[in-house]
Amino acid sequence: MTIRAGLTKGVRRSDALLTGALLTVSLVQVLWIQPIGSLWLTNSTWIGPAFAVVSVVPLAWRRARPVAAAVVGSSLWWVPTDAFLFLGYVCAVLLFFSLGRWATSLRRGCLACAWAITTGTFGWLAIEHAENRLIHLVLDIDVQQRAAELRIPGAETLLGILGFWLIVLVPYAVGRFMVTKDREAEQRIAAEREAARREAVEEERARIVRELHDVVGHEVTLMSIQSEAAAQALALAPDRAAGPIAAVRETAHKASRELRAILDLLGDEELAVAPDGRGLAELTDRAARLGVANSLLVTGEPWVDAPRHWLAVNRIVQECLTNAGKHAPGEKVDITLEWRDEGVRVRVGNLSVAEPRVGLGHGIPGMTERARVLGGTLDAAHVDGRFEVTAWLPAAGKEQR
């Protein structure tokens, strides 16, 4: 890496342009408008350009090397001058705000502030006592005589020193405050991300539970129905038990396949039930063969490419058939699908032998959640001896009805 590349590493274009503009204005001031000279030296017109360069140029590194920029930028403040840079205070504010904002070490930042305060305070006092020629105070053998000639700084000088301290400390404190706020914001964002991750995990767990409930609950209910039929056949007519036993075996195999499919594909939001009309027809046919009588009526034009809606329809119907087999064995289940451009309505009803406990278990909450995910609604109620489930699943971009 070349020296030039090392010096310019991390320097932003905006900082370089700002530095160039401020340096140009400052050089115009010290060369033509108001030259700056030293109170200690005569014919010191060179001190003005030097002051301008040393005070302004470090701004280019105020983000890349904030500590070094602050130290260098304040390195000539101890020199008493007969005038000030017009933009000197602006440069100081920018340097020490940047020191607080981007310095990675608090200790080094505080040391840079202490250095600047020390050099600046000495400069103000030097201006106050310029007539006493402090440079000779150091070199003169008669130190006591020179010390006696010194005057206590006046109120104007003390106010100037206080104002100078504020110019250093306030921007630095503002920069540190912004760093603190940034850290708090980062911690808050991290906490929100962690909460979102945990929520996603909980939602995924709930989805897995729902899928397992839908598959296992349906198939186990059908196996229970056929097992009772097989037991009765074995007791009364053993030759007629082969059919129910075969149905139990078929249902067990299907449940096993669906469980494997859920475990393999659930992460990609794929499910074992075919998300189309064929899956629904197979579902109702199998339920009828296994003892849950039902009728399926489809009106309107079914959507061809709507796997999420078909999947929700299939799972809702599956859950309703499962509940009917549990709570109203032998009763017919009426299933109606109404397809519209704005959405699909699902109605499932059957004669209820016992009052269902709406809201308990995972069945109805699972169906409600499926409808909610698609922006729809689901109602389940026991009316006039019938238990009815009505779901409305709006098309994508459509409002609820």
Whether residue 205 is predicted with pLDDT greater than 70 in this model: the reply is: no
Closest residue by Cα to residue 289 from 321, 256, 334: 321
Q: What is the pLDDT of residue 231?
A: 73
Q: Any bridge partners for residue 296, and if so which?
A: 335
Whether residue 262 is predicted with pLDDT greater than 90 in this model: the reply is: no
Mean pLDDT of the chain: 80
Whether residue 376 is predicted with pLDDT greater than 50 in this model: the reply is: yes
Q: What is the pLDDT of residue 91?
A: 96
Alpha carbon 67 to chain centroid, angstroms? 32
Q: What is the pLDDT of residue 266?
A: 47
Closest residue by Cα to residue 380 from 371, 391, 366: 391
How far the first Cα of the chain sits from its last, in Å, is 68
- Of 155-159, 184-188, 375-379, the range with the lowest mean pLDDT is 155-159
Whether residue 102 is predicted with pLDDT greater than 70 in this model: the reply is: yes
Rg (CA), the chain: 42
The set of residues, in sequence order, having a beta carbon less than 8 Å from that of 28 and lying 6+ positions away, is none
Question: Which has more confidence, 163 or 259?
Answer: 163
- Long-range contacts, stretch 141-145, CB < 8 angstroms, 24+ apart: none
Whether residue 341 is predicted with pLDDT greater than 70 in this model: the reply is: yes
What's this model's pTM, rounded to 2 decimal places? 0.56
d(C-alpha 213, C-alpha 194), whole Å: 28
Question: Which has more confidence, 230 or 319?
Answer: 319
Question: Which has more confidence, 349 or 132?
Answer: 349
Q: Above pLDDT 70, what percent of the chain?
A: 73
Q: What is the pLDDT of residue 311?
A: 82
| Strand duo 333-339 + 377-383: pairing | unpaired
Q: What is the pLDDT of residue 190?
A: 87
Q: What mean pLDDT is predicted for residues 299-316?
A: 86
Whether residue 344 is predicted with pLDDT greater than 90 in this model: the reply is: yes
